[in-house]
C-alpha cells in the first residue's frame, strides 16, 4: 500500500540486506541530490553510515574490499592541525566544502587556505567515532592538540562552543547590513549548547584524556539546564527536549557523575516515559513521533536503567513501518530514508530487541528473522565492540606514557 506521500512502505520482515546495501551505496556511491545541503556536515553522515554498516554486521566486507582504508584516509584528510592562522584549532572539519582538506593534501600542505576553515567539535566526535568503528589505531590523530583546543572552546558558563576562528576571520567585517537593512547574523559567533558539551565529553572519552574539560563548570551548565518537568533543555531556561536530555545524561554518564549530579532521577524517567505516544516516541510534548527518538529517548531511558518500562513491541512496529523499499529508515512512516534516521532507528531497534528478546520479536507482525543483535553503547552512540577496541587502545597509550 503506498503511503500518503506516494512512497511505497516496505512490509515485513525488516529487510536487513536492503539496509546493508543502502548504507553501502550512500557511503561509496553517488548519493541522492537532496543530500547536497548536508555537505557542511558530511563527517556526521560518514559516522552514521559506518555505524550503520557495523550494526548490520557488514563492516568486514567493507574492510575486505579496501574501502574501509579509503574512508579512514578521507577522514584523516579532514584533520585540522593547529597553526597561527587558525588560532590553534585542532580536530576535524566536516568536509572539503571550503576547498580545504582533500585539495590541500594533494598539494602537500597542511595550512588552511580559507579564513573560515577550522575544526568543529561535533565533527571531531564523529570522525573519531567513525575511526573507532573502523578499528583504526589512532596513530595519525593529533590527540594532544585536540585536547588543548577543547580548553579554548569551553565558555565561562561551562558550555562548549562548536568552533573557534583564527585571526584571519576575526579581521573580516560582518557588520555590514543585509538586504533588509538589519545587521547580518554574526558569522563569527559560534553556537554553544548541550550538543557541543556532549561532543566534548565524547571526544575526551575517546581520547582517554579529560584535561580539556573543566568538569565543575560543565556539571553546573547541565544542572542549570535541568527543567521543572524533569527533562533538560539545550541550555538554561530552554524547553526540555529528547535530544538535549540524551546529551545531558550521556555527558554525565561519560564523566562518571550520573548518580551524584542528576537532580531528580525519577522525575527525568517520568518525563522520558511520557515521550512514548500511540506509535512511538516524540522529542517533546505536542510533537509527532519520529524514528530517531527511539535512540535519543530510548538510550536515555536505558542510561537510567529503566529499559523495562517502554512498550518495545510498539516502537519496533513503528520502526519497521519507517523502512523504505530501497533500504534505510525515514523519520516517519512514508518519508524518504536518510542516513541519520537509518542509523539511529536501527540503534533504537537494537535497544528494543535487547529487552523484548528473540521470542518476543518473532511475535511481531514485521518480525526480522535475519537481523543481527549488535549491542550499542548508549552513552557514545557506538557499537559496543568499537568501545572495547578503544579501551584496548587506551591501555596501550597508558603503557607508552
Taking the complex as a whole, the smallest distance from the CB of residue 290 to Zn ion amounts, in Å, to 4
What grid cell was written down for 284? 517533546
Nearer to Zn ion, 92 or 293 (CB): 293
Is 189 in contact with 157 (CB distance < 8 Å)? no
Taking the complex as a whole, the smallest distance from the CB of residue 156 to Zn ion amounts, in Å, to 32
- SS3 annotation, 138-196: CCCCCHHHHHHHHHHHECCCCCEECCCCCHHHHCCCCCCECCCCCECCCCCCCCEEHHH
Is 37 in contact with 11 (CB distance < 8 Å)? no
Q: Does 331 bind Zn ion (CB under 5 A)?
A: yes
- Binding string, 70-109, against Zn ion, x = CB under 5 A? ----------------------------------------
Nearer to Zn ion, 100 or 376 (CB): 376
Taking the complex as a whole, the smallest distance from the CB of residue 331 to Zn ion amounts, in Å, to 4
What grid cell was written down for 118? 577550522
Interface positions, 114-143, toward Zn ion (CB under 5 A): none
- Which residue has the closest beta carbon to Zn ion? 292
Binding window for Zn ion (CB under 5 A); candidates: 55-63, 210-218, 292-300, 314-322: 292-300
Binding window for Zn ion (CB under 5 A); candidates: 38-46, 70-78, 170-178, 328-336: 328-336
Q: CA–CA separation, 324 vs 117, rounded Å?
A: 36
Nearer to Zn ion, 90 or 329 (CB): 329
Q: Does 297 bind Zn ion (CB under 5 A)?
A: no
Q: Does 292 bind Zn ion (CB under 5 A)?
A: yes
Binding window for Zn ion (CB under 5 A); candidates: 41-49, 164-172, 264-272, 329-337: 329-337
Nearer to Zn ion, 136 or 290 (CB): 290
Nearer to Zn ion, 245 or 331 (CB): 331
Is 46 in contact with 95 (CB distance < 8 Å)? no
Q: Does 290 bind Zn ion (CB under 5 A)?
A: yes
Nearer to Zn ion, 74 or 293 (CB): 293
Nearer to Zn ion, 14 or 292 (CB): 292
Q: CA–CA separation, 351 vs 71, rounded Å?
A: 28
User: Which letter does DSSP use for residue 263 in this model?
Assistant: S
What are phi and psi for residue 12, nearest 5 degrees?
-60, 155
Q: CA–CA separation, 239 vs 71, rounded Å?
A: 38
Taking the complex as a whole, the smallest distance from the CB of residue 135 to Zn ion amounts, in Å, to 29
Ramachandran assignment for 201, one of left (phi > 0), alpha (psi -120 to 50 degrees), beta (any other):
alpha
Ramachandran assignment for 323, one of left (phi > 0), alpha (psi -120 to 50 degrees), beta (any other):
beta
- The helix/strand count (H/E) of the chain reads as 17, 6
Taking the complex as a whole, the smallest distance from the CB of residue 132 to Zn ion amounts, in Å, to 24
- Binding string, 239-278, against Zn ion, x = CB under 5 A? ----------------------------------------
Instruction: Compute the CA torsion angle 119, 121, 125, 126 (nearest 10 deg).
Output: -60
Binding window for Zn ion (CB under 5 A); candidates: 173-181, 200-208, 316-324, 327-335: 327-335
Instruction: Compute the CA torsion angle 259, 262, 267, 273 (nearest 10 deg).
Output: -80
Q: Does 289 bind Zn ion (CB under 5 A)?
A: no
Nearer to Zn ion, 23 or 92 (CB): 23
Nearer to Zn ion, 230 or 345 (CB): 345
Is 78 in contact with 142 (CB distance < 8 Å)? no
Residues that bind Zn ion (CB under 5 A): 290, 292, 331
Amino acid at each position: 500500500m503506498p503511503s500518503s506521500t506516494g512512497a511505497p512502505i516496505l512490509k515485513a520482515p525488516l529487510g536487513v540486506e536492503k539496509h546493508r546495501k543502502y548504507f553501502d551505496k550512500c557511503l561509496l556511491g553517488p548519493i541522492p541530490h537532496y543530500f547536497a545541503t548536508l555537505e557542511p556536515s558530511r563527517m556526521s553522515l560518514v559516522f552514521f553510515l559506518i555505524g550503520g554498516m557495523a550494526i548490520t554486521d557488514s563492516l568486514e566486507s567493507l574492510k575486505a574490499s579496501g574501502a574501509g582504508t579509503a574512508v579512514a584516509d578521507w577522514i584523516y584528510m579532514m584533520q585540522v592541525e593547529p597553526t597561527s592562522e587558525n588560532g590553534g584549532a585542532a580536530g576535524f572539519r566536516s568536509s572539503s566544502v571550503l576547498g580545504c582538506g582533500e585539495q590541500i593534501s594533494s598539494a602537500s600542505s597542511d595550512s588552511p587556505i580559507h579564513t573560515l576553515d577550522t575544526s568543529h567539535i561535533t565533527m571531531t566526535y564523529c570522525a573519531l567515532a567513525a575511526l573507532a568503528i573502523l578499528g583504526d589505531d589512532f596513530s595519525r590523530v593529533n590527540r594532544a592538540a585536540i585536547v588543548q583546543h577543547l580548553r579554548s572552546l569551553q565558555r565561562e558558563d561551562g558550555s562548549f562552543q562548536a568552533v573557534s576562528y583564527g585571526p584571519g576571520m576575526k579581521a573580516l567585517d560582518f557588520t555590514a547590513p543585509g538586504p533588509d537593512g538589519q545587521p547580518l547574523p554574526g558569522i563569527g559567533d559560534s553556537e554553544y549548547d548541550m550538543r557541543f558539551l556532549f561532543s566534548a565529553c565524547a571526544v575526551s572519552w575517546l581520547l582517554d584524556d579529560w584535561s580539556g574539560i573543566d568538569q565543575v563548570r560543565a556539571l553546573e551548565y547541565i544542572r542549570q539546564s535541568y527543567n521543572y518537568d524533569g527533562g533538560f533543555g539545550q541550555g538554561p531556561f530552554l524547553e526540555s527536549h529528547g535530544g538535549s536530555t540524551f546529551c545531558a545524561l550521556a555527558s554525565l554518564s561519560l564523566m562518571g557523575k550520573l548518580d551524584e549530579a542528576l537532580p531528580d532521577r525519577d522525575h527525568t524517567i517520568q518525563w522520558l516515559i511520557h515521550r512514548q505516544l500511540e506509535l512511538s516516541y516524540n522529542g517533546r510534548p505536542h510533537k509527532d513521533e519520529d524514528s530517531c527518538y527511539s535512540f535519543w529517548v530510548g538510550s536515555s531511558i536505558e542510561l537510567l536503567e529503566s529499559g523495562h518500562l517502554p512498550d518495545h513491541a510498539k516502537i519496533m512496529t513503528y520502526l519497521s513501518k519507517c523502512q523504505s523499499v530501497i533500504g534505510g529508515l525515514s523519520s516517519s512512516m512514508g518519508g524518504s530514508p536518510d542516513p541519520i534516521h537509518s542509523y539511529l532507528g536501527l540503534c533504537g531497534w537494537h535497544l528494543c530487541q535487547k529487552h523484548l528478546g528473540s521470542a518476543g520479536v518473532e511475535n511481531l507482525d514485521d518480525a526480522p528473522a535475519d537481523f543481527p543483535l549488535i549491542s550499542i553503547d548508549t552513552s557514545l552512540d557506538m557499537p559496543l565492540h568499537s568501545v572495547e577496541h578503544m579501551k584496548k587502545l587506551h591501555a596501550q597509550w597508558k603503557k607508552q606514557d
